[in-house]
Amino acid sequence: MKITVTSGKGGTGKTLISTSLALSLSKKYPTTYIDLDVEEPNGYIFIKPNIQKKEPITLPFPKVDYDKCNFCGVCQEVCAYNAIAVLSFNNEVKIFPELCKSCGNCVLNCPEKAMFEVPREIGTLTYGKRENLKFFEGKLNISEVTTTSAIRIVKKKSLEDIRNGEILIYDSPPGASCPMVEASKGGDYIILITEPTPFGLFDLKIAVGVVKGLNKKFGVIINKEMEGFDELYEYLKKENIKVLLKIPFERRIAESYSKGKTLSEIGKEWEDIFLNLYNQILEEVND
């Protein structure tokens, strides 16, 4: 079972909820928490895992064999990202790593077979554990723009040697563009987090559009719940969207969050709430 926790708006509580859910479930089931918010991975703050190993996340990056290259310019022509400049006057082929998406098109099209690929590090994959909970974290290097590729690689790794009946919780980046889509694609079920403000609602609508487009079953958790913004509830009712859980807007929760505490560390009752939440999801997925 794979569950993606995501949101249109940032800062709605994805990490607090996905780590609390993962820690609660791990008391009963083999569970893995996977931090796919590779630009800003914060799950480690709440899980506090024992780190077992780290390895580089790499993408293949083209290089030129100058013994074979005749500067014909085909690689530059076929590159859809303008990442290659053939400077024949200088006998040089410049390849810009910040533009290259590692698609391999230049290598496959080079008439002289003068291009090959070497691994280029774009980030770090961290493996850890806390009791029965397995922990994965992808972290993108600063100034890298290959967020979606990093997510794809971390997702694939998380599916290697999973235990029998493993639950995977994917903590996704926010938004509605390709990184969020890539993370959402990994889930059998999507939890969308929102908050009762105009920003929360506007961005929820966008995220619902993504999830519906992916044909995924999904439900909403309302975080920082408070009075005074009925439009959110009207929208959820009109669209017949299931509300899985409401988490109140409480200073106590916000303060504990600021110190890196999960909900189940704030109150034991949250463990049962998240186990119930999982059963609800399970029923819906098997329905």
Partner 1 sequence: MIELAIVSGKGGTGKTTVSASFSVLAKNKIIADCDVDAPDLHLLLKPKVNIKKDFFGMKKAYINKDSCIECGVCIDVCRFDAISPDYAVDTALCEGCEVCFTQCPVKVIEMRENKAGEYFVSETPYGKMVHGILGVGEENSGKLVAIIRNVARYYAQKEKVDYIIVDGPPGIGCPVNSTLSGLKYAVGVTEPTESGLSDLERLMELFHHFKIKPFIIINKSDLNPEMSEKIKRKSIEEGAIFLGEIPFDPVVVESLKMGKPVVIYEKDSKAKKIITELWKKIEDYLSRKV
User: What x-and-dash track marks residues 75-114 binding partner 1 by CB under 8 A?
Assistant: ---x-xx----------------x--xxxxx--xx-----
Question: Minimal distance in Å, beta carbon 166 to partner 1?
Answer: 22
Measured on CA atoms in the order 203, 6, 14, 37, is the torsion positive or negative? negative
| CA distance readout (Å), 129 to 26, 112, 125, 152 | 11, 48, 14, 21
**Closer to partner 1 by Cβ: residue 40 or 55:** 40
Shortest CA distance to 29 belongs to which of 256, 246, 281, 243?
281
Examine residue 181 and tell whether it contacts partner 1 (CB under 8 A). Answer: yes
Query: 234, 255, 269, 272: which one contacts partner 1 (CB under 8 A)?
Result: 255
Question: Minimal distance in Å, beta carbon 102 to partner 1?
Answer: 7
Contacts of 59 (CB under 8 A, 6+ apart): 102, 119, 120, 122, 146, 149
Q: How many helices (H) and strands (E) does the chain have?
A: 11, 11
Question: Minimal distance in Å, beta carbon 174 to partner 1?
Answer: 5
Q: Where in 58-77 is the site for partner 1 (CB under 8 A)?
A: none
Query: 174, 222, 236, 281: which one contacts partner 1 (CB under 8 A)?
Result: 174
**Closer to partner 1 by Cβ: residue 134 or 155:** 155
**Closer to partner 1 by Cβ: residue 210 or 244:** 210
**Closer to partner 1 by Cβ: residue 118 or 142:** 142
Question: Minimal distance in Å, beta carbon 91 to partner 1?
Answer: 25
Q: Where in 24-43 is the site for partner 1 (CB under 8 A)?
A: 39-40, 42
Question: Could you give the CA distance from residue 37 to residue 140 in angstroms, rounded to a whole number?
Answer: 9
| CA distance readout (Å), 212 to 95, 205, 223, 227 | 38, 11, 21, 28
Contacts of 63 (CB under 8 A, 6+ apart): 95, 115, 116, 117, 118
Measured on CA atoms in the order 169, 248, 268, 236, is the torsion positive or negative? negative
Which residues lie near partner 1 (CB under 8 A)?
8-12, 15, 39-40, 42, 45, 78, 80-81, 98, 101-105, 108-109, 140, 142-145, 147-148, 152, 173-182, 185, 197-199, 202-203, 206, 209-210, 213-214, 226, 228-229, 251, 254-255, 257-260
